[in-house]
Structure 1
Amino acid sequence: MQERMADDVRPDPAEDALRQDAEACLRSLAGDHARLREDQWAAIRALIVERRRALVVQRTGWGKSAVYFVATALLRRRGAGPTVIVSPLLALMRNQIAAAERAGIHAATINSANLEDWERVYADVRAGAVDVLLVSPERLNNPDFRDQVLPDLAAGAGLVVVDEAHCISDWGHDFRPDYRRLRTLLTELPPGVPVLATTATANARVTRDVADQLTGGSDAAALVLRGPLERESLSLSVVGLRGAEQRLAWLAGRLDALPGSGIIYTLTVAAAHEVAGFLRDRGYAVAAYTGQTEQAERLQAEQDLLDNKVKALVATSALGMGFDKPDLGFIVHLGAPQSPVAYYQQIGRAGRGVERAEVILLPGREDRDIWAYFAGLAFPPEPVVRQALRALEEAGGTLSTAALETRVDLGRSRLEMMLKVLDVDGAVRRVKGGWTATGVPWAYDRERYERVAAERSREQQAMLDYLTTESCRMEFLRRQLDDPQAAPCGRCDNCTGRHLPAEVPEDETVRARERLSRPGAELTPRRMWPTGMKAEGISGRIPAGSQAEPGRALGRLTDIGWGNRLRDLLAEGAPDAPVPEEVFGAVVQVLSAWDWADRPAGVLAMASATRPRMIDDLARRVAAIGRLPYLGQVAYVDGGPGPRRHNSAQRVRALWNAFAVPDAVRSLTGPVLLVDDQVDTGWTMTVVARLLRENGVPAVLPLALATVA
């Protein structure tokens, strides 16, 4: 890896004309006054003259996209094929296409949102009508694309660009398994095809890892152009507040005073909707934006923010890399991301085209619980990986992800992540219909995975240190990114001594408390059995006569209101005790607001190995206050379902014959209220509801203290 920190590259006279052309291209892209930075020119020169592989690590707003668009224009004039840009987010793609068009560069994209355009795009590429093709990383391992499109595309590419290149590295804060396929693509490129990787968030370890992957183990060193990561417009602050209601009240009381429009980040989907709902009630024009938001709604929300029609989007990290609004005036975090690097990446959205932008962090005591949940999604332990490899080998052919799920105790997203890593490592191959074993020996890199886990723990501690540091906050973040030029910014709350007040008007706190203490979350019943279970005679749609009705929970574990109380109550190791009075009172409110079609005819408690006393107490008290018969508990058969299973197919198989219902339910002429402590996957409720319906119960109304969803 050849790294250059200073702007020490000087063109020789023979390259003057090329630089003048590059400057002209830049002006068409960014305006008449734009001039190339020395490192921009160094990267363009390396790509065009030397046909090298380069990694550019520069702050957000520095002009990384200008490098590849200018290089594209110059290469196309010289007869090169189209530039292929691997880009992780649709928002990023849309912004890049618009920017390319301004420079007279015709760009097109292939992603999951424009399936109907693929054939036309492929035809335009073959005809030479496309200068830039943007591809999502997920496409790289789609069997049809990988086998039929990618070879020709790679062979004819004039330039390959890897945007947000930190996603390649499992050391990075936002590792994407689909990006690992890039290593194969890069090693198979014809000689002389230049490659550019760009990112704003790579520390020294990630930079080395990405640079090594760029060269694919060859002797040629990648050129690394790494600049200072100072963001002169950002003014950083941390405000410590006692609880969720104080944070929400503080935000509602000060949102009007924040400059322009901005983004309010939350750590969970539930919190995004909760905060957005409260702020709308307080008269603010805001919208929620998460990975679960429908595509059309996301596009509209992005446009409304760009047009300043909303004060803020209340968003999860789904609104992160690539969203480009130069005049974004503020970023507020309700809850701390789990690493300073991730935090730096998100706040980099603000202040790109304004002199000052406010960046405020309001940490919560639940942050570490949420970090712990995401830490549970790490690469699986070796026995589980070996189990998956054995299952594929024994199948002797193709297994779908759903079929493999019945043989391996992993949730769907974690299983797919593992398979993608194994695919790049050569142990499995993705084909039409699923996955096959290749027979290639595979070694579990335990040491690396343990080091990555240790690095994640270090990053979390560093984030906690950021909250309490008395030194410059921007300098702290830059040092976490190994920026050797990190220095006090002179703008943050610690540098200036001007800390934002933590006082919250009591009336705002009361409103926030009322909002957060508002109980009730809907439990949506399962409608389909898991795929891959036809051998057991379980498949397809759950018959209407076997389904539960929509149910209710007191709250979500990911809420910033009831979530905190419920997480404590239902934590592993918490005592199995009667439900506290304030919790039961809130359950009564949920029941009072429940507009059911037919009043329940009885109350039934779910079987439980961990909280039988709590569930029985809750069911009996609900029955008493509703003057309903208490029907007893669902019982376990033969010891129950056994150890907790992590995917739907295995969970349903374990639950299928694990329960018996009391005889009293067979005489019911109305719905039964089925009471549980927590709904996670929803399969226990689904299987027991089916059993109750088969025993003549007209309808099943699930009621739980908490739901994960």
Structure 2
Amino acid sequence: MTNEALRTSADAVLARLVADPTGTARLRTDQWRAIEALVADRRRALVVQRTGWGKSAVYFVATALLRERGSGPTVIVSPLLALMRNQVEAAARAGIRARTINSSNTEEWETVQSEISAGEVDVLLVSPERLNNPDFRDQVLPKLAASTGLLVVDEAHCISDWGHDFRPDYRRLRTMLSELPPGVPVLATTATANARVTADVAEQLGTGEGGGQALVLRGPLDRESLRLGVLQLPDAAHRLAWLADHLAELPGSGIVYTLTVAAAEEVTAFLRHRGHTVASYTGKTENADRRQAEEDLLANRVKALVATSALGMGFDKPDLGFVVHLGSPSSPISYYQQVGRAGRGVRNAEVLLLPGREDEAIWSYFASLAFPPEEQVRRTLQVLSAAGRPVSLPALEPQVELRRSRLETMLKVLDVDGAVRRERGGWTATGQPWSYDGERYARVARQREAEQRAMREYATTTGCRMEFLRRQLDDEQAAPCGRCDNCAGPRFTPEISEAALTAARGELGRPGTEVEPRRMWPTGMPSVGVALKGRIPAEEQAGPGRALGRLSDIGWGNRLRPLLAPQAPDGPVPADVADAVVTVLADWARGPGGWASGEPTAPARPAGVVTIASRTRPRLVNSLGEHIATVGRIPLLGTVAYREGAADTRISRTNSAQRLMALEGVLTVPPALARALSSADGPVLLVDDFTDTGWTLAVAARLLRRSGAKGVLPMVLAVQG
């Protein structure tokens, strides 16, 4: 077939894909260049084009043409379930049969694999996490590599640790690439790659020096429909009030991004209270609820999804009318990727950033989750080597000072590097030489800091905002857009109604969040010499507790973060904080299950207050306990103390098992406190500054219950998270 005939066939597939009954749809020049390279020349191509440009059209059209020529099915590695659902529906419009293998449809895997073997599947969408699943990696992946007609890596910036959304699982693609038969084309696509990421992705995919000359198609990143703006507002209450007053004025339906799950939940509740139809979408949202939220937004049944970056990739709604950020992402590249969801199929879409003073504290928290120091990595490798068998994450966690999520990410990186391997039943050390690339990790950290500086500059620049973002992505064609608030003047004022501001202050100023007690001991404690396992006996558990707020929320979190920061000076509890704690206690007493509720199962009124000894904030914790005892007119019974000689014991906060190991045998109930507990005729309030893993409260509660406490009700200032 001549290239002219191939182009005619390609345009016909495009017309079906976009449901064009006239058949007049035509591919863009670079779309055709990519398809020609894949189908006619069987080359590798890297396409870096703005969101909405039509990257999916390239791989669907190429798939149809390759399948007509007898090629095997296309394998698309895709990061999010939302993207997969959109892609399956889009493929069907072009007569392309698409199926998925991901964590949410395990019951369908066998059927899908049978359909692939029978030649009934044109496109298989695979989540990157599947690439390192032992069964999939060892049994399915080799067959796919042998039969694949086209490999597509969507959102390819995830391969690069210079990118804004690095995912170690993506780097497993090296294995599949190495096993592809000669002449199988490969397509990598992304909308958010600067020059550094582009070069790194090329190297990771083998499309650089060692994998043949790749076709790199990089287009201008301007989005003519987007009208960017920034509103500088005094505090979280003003930002929330502004949104409540102006959400209805924004065009169509859209997305309101927040930086944390807690903030998303707060904003959703407030906007609903103010009469707006919105839904929450976060990493903690159940899969069925996520899907319902996506469908409601697609059908314009909600004005907005209030979302975290869980909605950052893979959501396709061409008529999305606006994106508002309550808080700045830490990277202008990430910001560009998120705002790119808007305005793909409409003439004008509004993009607004409402930065907050808590943003940088949140950036710092996420930065702390970077690749661990060398000694922690070496310790993990030593434990795996000594085991001589696969070790599961729960069994490994007690022996290393890393939280579960960070430990798993580190192991995935080590897996790609060849130092460990995931097997059935856990992880094993391979024994292969491995070196800690500290210089590279330091460069990545410096790059992250530079991105944060750039995001601060974006919020305050007097120049064109779109040009600023395009330059951050190394777009050589960047020029003033003529549409943003700095080019064309602001379209929104910071004015808000007094009613909305009062309501926002009331919402954010409302203290109190529940503290869920620990019910089970961490897995694997006996293996490290701590004889605790299974369920914590009911008679040794704490009851449900309360905190003034969460450190990640935009209400009390903003007040508590400076007070509880590591460098903050110790001192008596501030009056406003003390008063708010009293409010929490009063609401707790009268609320469902509270001691003043009159419910048959409610606990008795607290008979005393017990504090937990603090090395860093003794004055704060003691004064808080004294204040509660004075206002509640109940005795301050004493303090759960450190055993003699344990004052310098380091209490790890890295994971549950390590923290429990450090606490076991360190805390004690002094005799005077034990005597007071035995004569108390009700539960005690257990007071501390904040809780993170929850194990200090659990261990202290166990000691108090064993010393005669009728019950233990924790009361802390803050919950981490």
Superposition TM-score tier, normalisation by shorter sequence: over 0.9
1:700 aligns with 2:712: yes
Aligned to 1:176: 167
Q: Does the 8 Å CA contact 2:653/2:693 hold for their aligned counterparts?
A: no
Aligned to 2:691: 679
1:152 aligns with 2:143: yes
1:670 aligns with 2:661: no
Q: Give, in whole Å, the separation in 2 of the partners of 1:223 and 1:214.
A: 13
Match of 1:285 among 270, 277, 290: 277
Q: 1:71-128, CA deviations, whole angstroms, 9 ceiling, x for partnerless residues?
A: 1111111111111111010000000000001111111111111111111111111111
1:412 aligns with 2:401: no
1:427 aligns with 2:419: yes
1:587 aligns with 2:591: no
Aligned to 1:19: 7
Q: Give, in whole Å, the separation in 1 of the partners of 2:119 and 2:680.
A: 71
User: In the alignment, residue 8 of structure 2 is paired with which amino acid?
Assistant: Q
1:617 aligns with 2:623: yes
Map 1:367-382 → 2, pairs under 5 A: 367-382=359-374
Q: Give, in whole Å, the separation in 1 of the partners of 2:490 and 2:709.
A: 64
Q: Give, in whole Å, the separation in 2 of the partners of 1:36 and 1:499.
A: 35
Q: Give, in whole Å, the separation in 1 of the partners of 2:536 and 2:64.
A: 56
Aligned to 1:627: 633
Q: Give, in whole Å, the separation in 2 of the partners of 1:178 and 1:540.
A: 32
Q: 1:477-509, CA deviations, whole angstroms, 9 ceiling, x for partnerless residues?
A: 000000111111110000012353122222321
Match of 1:578 among 572, 579, 583: 572
Aligned to 2:598: none
Q: Give, in whole Å, the separation in 2 of the partners of 1:219 and 1:613.
A: 63
Map 1:9-408 → 2, pairs under 5 A: 14-30=2-18, 31=20, 32-215=23-206, 218-408=210-400
SS where residue 218 of structure 1 aligns?
helix
Post-superposition shift, 1:408? 1.3
Aligned to 1:464: 456
User: In the alignment, residue 223 of structure 1 is paired with which amino acid?
Assistant: L
Aligned to 1:6: none
Match of 2:517 among 518, 522, 525: 525
Map 1:467-506 → 2, pairs under 5 A: 467-498=459-490, 500-506=492-498
Aligned to 1:3: none
- Scaled by the length of structure 1, the TM-score of the pair is 0.97
Aligned to 2:545: 551
SS where residue 349 of structure 1 aligns?
coil
* The 10-residue stretch of structure 1 (64-73 or 657-666) with the greater mean CA deviation from structure 2: 657-666
Post-superposition shift, 1:474? 0.4
User: In the alignment, residue 308 of structure 2 is paired with which amino acid?
Assistant: T
User: In the alignment, residue 201 of structure 2 is paired with which amino acid?
Assistant: V
1:443 aligns with 2:435: yes
Q: Give, in whole Å, the separation in 2 of the partners of 1:215 and 1:422.
A: 19
Q: Give, in whole Å, the separation in 2 of the partners of 1:503 and 1:173.
A: 34
* The 10-residue stretch of structure 1 (306-315 or 683-692) with the greater mean CA deviation from structure 2: 683-692
Q: Give, in whole Å, the separation in 1 of the partners of 2:262 and 2:214.
A: 43
Post-superposition shift, 1:371? 0.3
User: In the alignment, residue 229 of structure 1 is paired with which amino acid?
Assistant: L
User: In the alignment, residue 340 of structure 2 is paired with which amino acid?
Assistant: G
Q: Give, in whole Å, the separation in 2 of the partners of 1:636 and 1:211.
A: 55
Runs of 4+ in 1 over 6 A off after TM superposition: none
Specify every segment of 5 or more residues in structure 2 that has no aligned partner in the other structure, as ranges. 595-601
Post-superposition shift, 1:240? 0.3
Aligned to 1:650: 658
SS where residue 318 of structure 1 aligns?
helix
User: In the alignment, residue 617 of structure 2 is paired with which amino acid?
Assistant: R
Match of 1:608 among 614, 623, 635: 614
Q: 1:445-482, CA deviations, whole angstroms, 9 ceiling, x for partnerless residues?
A: 11111111000000000000001111110010000000
SS where residue 587 of structure 1 aligns?
helix
User: In the alignment, residue 567 of structure 1 is paired with which amino acid?
Assistant: R
SS where residue 692 of structure 1 aligns?
helix
Q: Give, in whole Å, the separation in 2 of the partners of 1:508 and 1:39.
A: 49
* The 10-residue stretch of structure 1 (622-631 or 458-467) with the greater mean CA deviation from structure 2: 622-631
SS where residue 97 of structure 1 aligns?
helix
Q: Give, in whole Å, the separation in 2 of the partners of 1:181 and 1:270.
A: 33
* The 10-residue stretch of structure 1 (21-30 or 593-602) with the greater mean CA deviation from structure 2: 593-602
Q: Does the 8 Å CA contact 1:141/1:430 hold for their aligned counterparts?
A: yes
SS where residue 314 of structure 1 aligns?
strand
Q: 1:503-552, CA deviations, whole angstroms, 9 ceiling, x for partnerless residues?
A: 22223211111110000011011222111223332222222222211110
Identity %: 68
User: In the alignment, residue 655 of structure 2 is paired with which amino acid?
Assistant: N
Q: Does the 8 Å CA contact 1:53/1:214 hold for their aligned counterparts?
A: no
